[in-house]
Structure 1
Amino acid sequence: YFTKSTFSGYTDQYVGMRSGEADFDKASVAAYSMPNLTSGSALPVFVAAETQFLLAEAALKGWIEGGETKAREYYEAGIRLSMEQNGVTDSEAVSKYLSNTTLTPAGHSKDPRGTKYNYDRKTTVKIAWEGETSTEKHLEQIITQKWIANYPMGLEAWAEYRRTGYPELAPVIDNLSGGVVDSNRGMRRLAYPLSEKDQNTTNYQNAVTMIGGTDTPAVDLFWTKKN
């Protein structure tokens, strides 16, 4: 997914740059891990793994038959498909990953540029299905693994985050919304273009009324998680 960092003392690690930093010197951040993509890399629209994760969620919530037993099967199938798609051929390593009951999503500590950029992650969600017992934690497992599998489809990942509230994301460092957008929840939508407001006024006003009367990035769409 990514290249390794080139920061001195971190060259054997993957170190990401925190999102939402408004003012930075390009040279100072060039040593962070970069997306391991080229102009020739495939840009998927929908991946097979997502189908399995959707089925896992549906079974978990009782929308289709099978309950938790089938939800687990779909969940693990999604992870295996994602691994296969990304060239992981060691079946033993995949099985070991699926059975891991101790690993949790990593925090962002000891940033090479200083503590301002650190973030202590709160979630304790495990990889192994049996590592969790509640329906909500199983949902977090499913969406967390779907987030990984959907890389680099950022719009799909953003939609899933807004819909479910998972995975836990670090808040932006610099919030330039003037207090309109909550730093922890992030943008909930894109505001309508000014051209619509100026040139399609009646329909623009009707649309704004339908979403609650305010055209800002903080407005939740009807399908998003509201808290």
Structure 2
Amino acid sequence: MKIIKHNIFKLSIVALALSATSCNKFLDVNDTPNNPLEVPAATLLPVGLSGTAFANSNELNRFASTIMSVTAGVSGSPAGYDIYEVFGDDFGNQWNFEIYGGALINYKKMLEEAEKANSPVYAGVGKIMMAFTFAMATDAWGNVPYSEALLGDMELTSPRLDSQQDIYLGNEAQGIQSLFDLIREGLEDLDGESILTIGSDDIVYGGDLAKWKRAGNSLMLRLAMQISSVEPQIATQVIQEVMNRNMYINANDQNLAVRFGGQVGSQAPLWTLTRNSSFQNELLISTRFVNKLQTLNDPRLPLFVTRPTGQYVTIDNGFRGTPPAVAGRSVYNSYAIGIGGEGPVRLLTNAQTAFILAEAVVRLGVAGNASELYQRGIRASMQDAGVASADIDAYFTANPTVVTLTGTSDQQIEQIINQKYISLFSNGLEQWNDWRRTGYPTLADHQNAQGIDGTRPVRLIYLFTEQQRNPNFPQGDNAPQSNVPVWWDIN
């Protein structure tokens, strides 16, 4: 399976409003169409937000959740991911239609419309979400089109690939703005005087700009932690900058979470992937994930995972025997998909932010109480999952070794990432990012592992079609395979 495009993009105006090119050049990653229709920023905003959420939670999540031993593949693409097989064109639709030709082109157009309408608030949200979406691309593939992507210059049919280091840190000589500066610009724009105001078109915060500021700052924290091993000084500076502003996500109602519709054609991708498509029986929850939470007596497990037979019915990763009957399989529960497919897709959360800050205290020496932040992250995740307050208190009382940071710095980081991994259930990309940069959680190899050297992938492989089209992509033996770490992964 490559994508369920009909889901969100049935609602999307991407193809309608932004496609005037021929079908064989549909939305090249550097190509803004010649004469797009005028589309107001208020229309582009929800399409961009749902596009980023769709990209995060669709096939990229199926891949990452499976290699991270959260889900297990029975057939189709997930069966290949489960034994570490990944190919250059596995994610062609994600690259072309969800990221570059989907969310990013919407944000780019929204920035243009915001300038025309003298309404920088739309540009502010657009820049924050553009940084989020470009980060998804570079974290997955490494060096990608960035500074020359989406320019719309017909002479620029082959955008260069900027290095991941330059995308994160910027390169003035090359005209590359850092992701951090892009977010900073977005935060400044949110304070700008605007003719238009954001309202119901904002499907995340309903036009609450203070919450968008918190989201932008939490994104700064997340990206800083991503580079904390390779650039600890810069990471520390960015984290301290955000802490000085004291304006980041610190409550569950501030989560950057995108809700979808409850009708067929507008539901969250995880709902469609597991409830209403020809791909719905290709994966189920991994035995390893269920065992992990059962060992911890974790009250989130039944809220995360279904029990159609009254028991958890799972398989081990890489299992190649007869799978359990479809009707009895354990799959995503309402926490991840909602009651009728509305989700939400959680892109940045209070729990995630708390764990990032806890790790920053331990790893980088940033001021703060790591234990309090760690416990705040666990509580926030349990509350978001729907665990009752009394049950959370009881869990903390009964499981002091789980909820208390102890040991060396590395042992504390392992505890933090283990709990963060659980809290990131249904966000496989972030679980994969954390595992790559820290080595935690410790994951046993899957059965029947193949792929490159039989090792868990640490990057996606470039699309063959992009290599053919754009000579700036590395070719042949120069193209990194799935066992070659990205720049920030020095673990």
TM-score normalised by length of structure 2: 0.34
How far apart are residue 197 of structure 1 and its match? 1.9
One-letter code of the match for 2:412? Answer: H
Aligned residue for 1:33, secondary structure, equals coil
Q: Is the CA contact 1:191–1:215 (under 8 Å) kept in the aligned structure 2?
A: yes
1:105 alignment counterpart: none
Structure with greater Cα Rg: 2
1:34 alignment counterpart: 331
1:43 alignment counterpart: 345
Aligned mate of 1:53, from 327, 352, 355: 355
Aligned residue for 1:45, secondary structure, equals strand
Aligned residue for 2:328, secondary structure, equals coil
How far apart are residue 224 of structure 1 and its match? 1.8
Distance 1:41 1:182 in 2: 34
Q: Deviation digits for residues 83-103 of structure 1, max 9, x if unmatched?
A: 111111233x3234335558x
2:274 alignment counterpart: none
Q: Is the CA contact 2:371–2:404 (under 8 Å) kept in the aligned structure 1?
A: yes
CA RMSD in angstroms, aligned pairs only: 2.6
Aligned mate of 1:129, from 396, 401, 404: 404
Q: Is the CA contact 2:383–2:389 (under 8 Å) kept in the aligned structure 1?
A: no
How far apart are residue 4 of structure 1 and its match? 1.8
Count of residue pairs brought into register by the alignment: 183
1:86 alignment counterpart: 385
How far apart are residue 32 of structure 1 and its match? 3.5
Aligned residue for 1:44, secondary structure, equals strand
Give yes or no for the alignment of 1:193 onto 2:463.
yes
How far apart are residue 43 of structure 1 and its match? 1.3
Aligned residue for 1:152, secondary structure, equals coil
Judging changes above 3 Å, is the alpha-carbon distance between structure 1 residues 15 and 161 closer, same or farther for their aligned structure 2 residues? farther
Distance 2:384 2:332 in 1: 17
Distance 2:398 2:486 in 1: 36
How far apart are residue 171 of structure 1 and its match? 1.8
Aligned residue for 2:402, secondary structure, equals coil
Q: Is the CA contact 1:80–1:94 (under 8 Å) kept in the aligned structure 2?
A: yes
Judging changes above 3 Å, is the alpha-carbon distance between structure 1 residues 100 and 170 closer, same or farther for their aligned structure 2 residues? farther
Aligned mate of 2:315, from 17, 21, 28: 17
Aligned mate of 1:97, from 383, 390, 395: 395
2:7 alignment counterpart: none
Judging changes above 3 Å, is the alpha-carbon distance between structure 1 residues 223 and 100 closer, same or farther for their aligned structure 2 residues? farther
How far apart are residue 61 of structure 1 and its match? 1.7
2:450 alignment counterpart: 176
Q: Deviation digits for residues 47-88 of structure 1, max 9, x if unmatched?
A: 11100000000011234113xxx0001000011111111111
How far apart are residue 15 of structure 1 and its match? 4.4
Q: Deviation digits for residues 128-147 of structure 1, max 9, x if unmatched?
A: 325x3111111111011111
1:149 alignment counterpart: 423
Q: Deviation digits for residues 29-56 of structure 1, max 9, x if unmatched?
A: 6533211144222111111110000000
How far apart are residue 168 of structure 1 and its match? 2.0
Higher relative contact order (CA 8 A, sep 6+): 2
Aligned residue for 2:436, secondary structure, equals helix
Give the structure with the larger helix fraction: 2
Unaligned runs of 5+ in 1: 103-125
Aligned residue for 2:366, secondary structure, equals coil
How far apart are residue 155 of structure 1 and its match? 0.9
Q: Deviation digits for residues 107-163 of structure 1, max 9, x if unmatched?
A: xxxxxxxxxxxxxxxxxxx51325x31111111110111111111111111111111
Unaligned runs of 5+ in 2: 1-303
Distance 2:453 2:393 in 1: 41
One-letter code of the match for 1:205? Answer: P
Q: Deviation digits for residues 10-38 of structure 1, max 9, x if unmatched?
A: x44x34322334x5555556533211144
2:375 alignment counterpart: 76
Judging changes above 3 Å, is the alpha-carbon distance between structure 1 residues 97 and 156 closer, same or farther for their aligned structure 2 residues? same
Q: Is the CA contact 1:83–1:94 (under 8 Å) kept in the aligned structure 2?
A: yes
Identity %: 30
Aligned residue for 2:347, secondary structure, equals coil
